[in-house]
Amino acid sequence: MALNAAIEAARAGESGRGFAVVADEVRTLATKTHESAEEIETMIHQLQEGASNAVVVMKTANGSAAEGVQQVQTAMTALNEIDQEISNINDLSALMRSISEDQSKAAEEINATVLNISHLADNSSHQASETSKVSQTLRQLANQLDELVSAFKIQ
């Protein structure tokens, strides 16, 4: 367009000078429009590149988030298992405490029974000793009775 205007201005000669100024302005405007179009094209390219980079970052972040969610779920599962094991340990501990208390009571009963048996053994020993003394006394009396009976024997 600027070229056509310049050609027409050259043909018109002196009277086309005003037309030449318009042709120069059209050329300047065309140059600026071309430069602006190149800048806009560069900006669009940069925006597209930035958008592509943002998509890559979002995909990476999404993958990381999904991995993080999986790790949290795995950790939650592990914590639930630990909680269950602690509950089992507490139950076993309570059972062991109950068994220990029962064994302690049984040991006390056994101790009382052993003491009772010991007292009975002491009593039996004492009674055996008394029985032995009575037996000795009876033997002595029997011997004395034998001697008395022998004195009355007829020969």
Residue owning tokens 């600027």: 2
Q: Given a cut of 70, is residue 5 above it in pLDDT?
A: no
Q: Is the separation of the CB atoms in 26 and 37 below 8 Å?
A: no
Q: Given a cut of 80, is residue 24 above it in pLDDT?
A: no
Average pLDDT over residues 61-71: 90
Q: What is the 8-class DSSP label of residue 152?
A: T
Calculate what percentage of the chain has a pLDDT beyond 70.
86
Calculate what percentage of the chain has a pLDDT beyond 90.
67
Summarised one tens digit per residue, pLDDT across range 91-145 is 999 999 999 999 999 999 999 999 999 999 999 999 999 999 999 999 999 999 8
Dihedrals φ, ψ of 29, to 5°? -65, -40
Cβ count within 10 A of residue 72: 10
Which positions ≥6 away from 128 have C-beta within 8 Å? none
Which pTM value belongs to this model?
A: 0.46
Q: Is the separation of the CB atoms in 22 and 5 below 8 Å?
A: yes
